[in-house]
Amino acid sequence: MDAPSPLPTLIRKKRDGERLEDAEIRSFVRGVTEGTAQQGQIGAMLMAIRLRGMDAGETLALTRAMAGSGRTLAWPPAWHGLLVDKHSTGGVGDKVSLALAPALAACGCKVPMISGRGLGHTGGTLDKLEAIPGFRVSQSPEEMQRILARVGCCIVGQSAELVPADRVLYGLRDVTATVDSLPLITASILSKKAAERLSALVLDVKFGEAALYRTQESARELARSLVEVGAHLGIRTAALLSRMEQPLGRAVGNALEVLEALQCLGGGGPPDLRHLVTALGGVLLWQCGMAAGAEQGRERLARALDDGSALGTFEAMLGAQGVPPDTARGLCAGTPAQRRRLLGEAKVCEELPAPQEGWVQQVRALPLARVLHGLGAGRSRAGDPVNPRVGAELLVGTGQHLRAGEPWLRVHHEGTLDAEGRRELQDALCLGPQPPRDPPPLVAETIVPSGALPGPCRDSQ
């Protein structure tokens, strides 16, 4: 074990713009994990990293140290090369994981998906799944392995044993205004993926008004950092840059998004959701050598959505994670009305009329998400409860013509939507006198490591 370095010395060194050695970074992470570092010292180091940055070698060392701060998952040798996962930087209406994990498992992958909860205006995969009665997101590593052996995928929360250093640093980044630090984001995301001992990883790095990064350039910078560090960790990593100006799909809100994911799993649903699910999955299948290229991977994943195998895998995952069999069957084979009854419905279902005639230019995701957040669909701080029944359904799409008074949004709430909230929601609808120009593609760019070639994956060590 490395001799501990005095933390004030390390803080001063980074504060002054010097490079930290690997052993010094390990010493800092050990102090975080063991509780010997004071919160003020950790906050000072986070700010020094935020202001002075880290080079690629430092970021890699930080990621490795954080990944090694707790337990790493172990898998049967027969699964080597098949272990895949996806991470999104967060968006509005992003229910991709719910459809992607079972579709990948139906294609032969093993998907130990470790997901998070929503915070602020972005939704969390775990919150969506907990809208399903009985679904249990807490699974031990042993339980995860049993579910993967039976079903091929699971979607779980981060256990206390996995990457404990990240839980400390993640909590302090928010209160120290260091959330947007590139090395800290990279290490936080990839340390958890390294602890999963993945073969391949695809990242959905979103940009736009409702994303963490507003511009494609800043999203590209994060994506390149993630892809290069991931490659050095032995994980075949790729990133897709996708736009987040408008909600993904037509549904926003936990229960409503589950219903829309079920449509996608059945071969239907909104085209933009299906496009992103198959694009991300196609890249993963290509990276693992299960498809000759990303386009062939996309086609294979689409077949899993269309032939019922992805939906069947989702039903099996629900059962394996605590959902009663009748509920799982009703959700996966029931009518839309039966599915809604199983998930529960809000007290009020209200349609908003278009304030004037015009062509839909776009529906802005951010004001929509903020109002729904205030109605109980999201949380402002970790641990706050959410109401899974609160949400909204878009009744229109870009390029559609609306008459004044025609409904464009259906809001599900508990009787708490006031006049100000209605005004804010109306601000999300952008109308124009002429049809809009063709929108830019949802996926703007794909980033892979330098010299990346398809083929069998290595497992992260």
The stretches of 53-140 forming alpha helices (DSSP H) are 56-67, 96-106, 125-129
Q: CA-CA distance, 46 to 414, in Å (whole number)? A: 41
CA nearest neighbour of 100 among 331, 319, 224, 283:
283
For residue 399, is it left (φ>0), alpha (ψ between -120 and 50) or beta?
A: left
Q: CA-CA distance, 395 to 207, in Å (whole number)? A: 24
Question: Which pair of structure tokens corresponds to residue 377?
Answer: 């669909």
CA nearest neighbour of 375 among 388, 356, 357:
388
Q: CA-CA distance, 115 to 364, in Å (whole number)? A: 26
3-state helix, strand, coil in the chain (%, to 5): 45, 15, 40
**CB proximity list for 13: less than 8 A, separation 6 or greater:** 20, 24
The stretches of 196-335 forming alpha helices (DSSP H) are 216-232, 254-265, 271-287, 294-306, 309-320, 325-333
- In 3-state terms, what secondary structure has residue 298? helix
H-helix or E-strand containing 172?
Answer: helix 164-175
pLDDT tens digits for 385-409?
A: 889 999 999 999 999 999 999 999 9
Q: CA-CA distance, 312 to 325, in Å (whole number)? A: 13
Give the model's pLDDT for residue 122.
Answer: 67
Q: Which residues are catalytic?
A: 87, 166, 173, 188, 192
Half-sphere exposure of 121 (CA within 13 A, CB side): 17
Q: How far apart are the first and last CA of the chain?
A: 19
- In 3-state terms, what secondary structure has residue 27? helix
Give the model's pLDDT for residue 461.
Answer: 34
DSSP state of 369: H
H-helix or E-strand containing 194?
Answer: helix 182-195
DSSP state of 77: G
Within the chain, which residues score under 50 in pLDDT?
453-461
pLDDT tens digits for 132-185?
A: 999 999 999 999 999 999 999 999 998 888 999 998 998 888 788 888 899 999
- In 3-state terms, what secondary structure has residue 407? strand
Give the model's pLDDT for residue 456.
Answer: 37
Give the model's pLDDT for residue 3.
Answer: 67
